[in-house]
Structure 1
């Protein structure tokens, strides 16, 4: 969290917390807080251990690393000298030796990330109490942490395949037979996209259908679905990002399907229409 005095003075951190709470309650996309800030919201800033890697400021980060990783007394003395300003400002200026240099580094990082921004943090967390969001996070941290921290899980073909509900015609009908063939092509296409064998990525497929390049923690509403285009005039896929639906053209061969899917998605100017 960055500290901007004008934002603090204007109560912007409080409003940001409120907006985040309302967004999450309504299935919104937050998932952008750092793990450290999220843990502070859950446990309290005093119980969170901060490392040098959590410091975004490159100069301060470099100074902390020099102190933490000093390999000799001379190197440590030089590192402390270079970091004298931040040591004084953070209240961490004390005798630093090879035994306590790691502790000093953690203290500086903790002050910079959490204590320096404490007023902004308190205002933000107060806003996050809207609709009971902060209390819910503290009560169910394992279940709700994913709503706040960005997911690092890679999108896979299996994720997308399981995400979509497929609408097929009546079993045994002529339409059903063609749809089943195309459904197989769709699954193969997702696999090829994951393996980078197409010009389209899985994220681009998701954007084409939903407008989002990742799956929200609370899922999509309405749930994404697959339908089929039986009119021979429809060569390329069509999507409706309001309904989260993709309509696939029926093809007799996979190479035709793949070529037209690539072209349709890559040349879509918006709202799933090439």
Structure 2
């Protein structure tokens, strides 16, 4: 019997085990945090729930209360804390990031377009595509607004808004030359790992759109 049980464990599909663990984590998103904090305990009685709440309060509140108190004491220097309490709205941009609405100009300036060397035939074709890119951004801004511009940014970087500390690496754009104009083959591509999009060099704005 013991050997049969062992055989059952050995023949279990590792992918199935991994999927079951993934599902369990989605159902219990705080389990890993509680386990790492040493607070994960089985709840068998109502009193166990109270103990779990105490553990969570310690981890989230009491454990960092000393650091928060020192932060408040530091902010009292030159009456900064009093000024923050009197004018919270004025200080909010310094402590809370609020992304500005995207515009065509902002998106155009955000990306570094990498052109070929001056004098090469590719350079002239690329400059034409850059003009298409600018016109396309203006059309999107006028017709669909900042939300769709955020979609374009997400296509190239994975983020719908510009992060508080900017992108790293900086967003860029490069060109794909000599691709045949086929269904789906002339569409832009992107690599969000390096915040880079690739535009196919086309001769007509209608094909670019």
Bin the TM-score by the shorter chain: 0.5 to 0.7
The CA deviation at 1:12 is 5.8
CA RMSD of aligned residues (A): 3.5
Query: Is residue 108 of structure 2 the alignment partner of residue 161 of structure 1?
Result: yes
2:122 alignment partner in structure 1: 175
User: What 5-or-longer segments of structure 1 have no aligned partner?
Assistant: 19-38, 55-140, 259-274
Q: C-alpha separation between the residues in 2 aligned to 1:14 and 1:251? A: 60
Counterpart contact for 2:99–2:161, Cα < 8 Å: no
1:228 alignment partner in structure 2: 175
Q: C-alpha separation between the residues in 1 aligned to 2:99 and 2:204? A: 36
3-state SS in 2 of match to 1:228: strand
The CA deviation at 1:47 is 5.5
Q: TM-score, normalised by structure 2?
A: 0.56
Residue by residue over 1:126-173, the C-alpha shift from the partner in whole angstroms, topping out at 9 and shown as x without a partner, is xxxxxxxxxxxxxxx98xx64631325211111111111111111121
2:57 alignment partner in structure 1: 8
Match of 2:201 among 238, 242, 250: 250
Q: C-alpha separation between the residues in 2 aligned to 1:162 and 1:243? A: 17
Q: C-alpha separation between the residues in 1 aligned to 2:62 and 2:189? A: 41
Residue by residue over 1:149-205, the C-alpha shift from the partner in whole angstroms, topping out at 9 and shown as x without a partner, is 13252111111111111111111211111101101000111111111259x811001
Q: C-alpha separation between the residues in 2 aligned to 1:188 and 1:14? A: 54
User: What 5-or-longer segments of structure 2 have no aligned partner?
Assistant: 1-52, 68-74
Radius of gyration: which is bigger? Answer: 2
The CA deviation at 1:11 is 3.1
Query: Is residue 190 of structure 2 the alignment partner of residue 239 of structure 1?
Result: yes
Residue by residue over 1:204-245, the C-alpha shift from the partner in whole angstroms, topping out at 9 and shown as x without a partner, is 010001100101122100000010010314411010001100
Q: How many residues align?
A: 141
Counterpart contact for 1:147–1:217, Cα < 8 Å: no
Residue by residue over 1:26-85, the C-alpha shift from the partner in whole angstroms, topping out at 9 and shown as x without a partner, is xxxxxxxxxxxxx99x9437951499xx9xxxxxxxxxxxxxxxxxxxxxxxxxxxxxxx
Question: With CA pairs under 8 Å and 6+ residues apart, which has the higher RCO, 1 or 2?
Answer: 1
Q: C-alpha separation between the residues in 1 aligned to 2:134 and 2:114? A: 15
1:77 alignment partner in structure 2: none
Within-5 A mapping of 1:4-153: 7-11=56-60, 43-44=80-81, 48-49=85-86, 146=93, 148-153=95-100
Q: TM-score, normalised by structure 1?
A: 0.44
Q: C-alpha separation between the residues in 2 aligned to 1:180 and 1:159? A: 19
Counterpart contact for 1:222–1:243, Cα < 8 Å: yes
2:30 alignment partner in structure 1: none
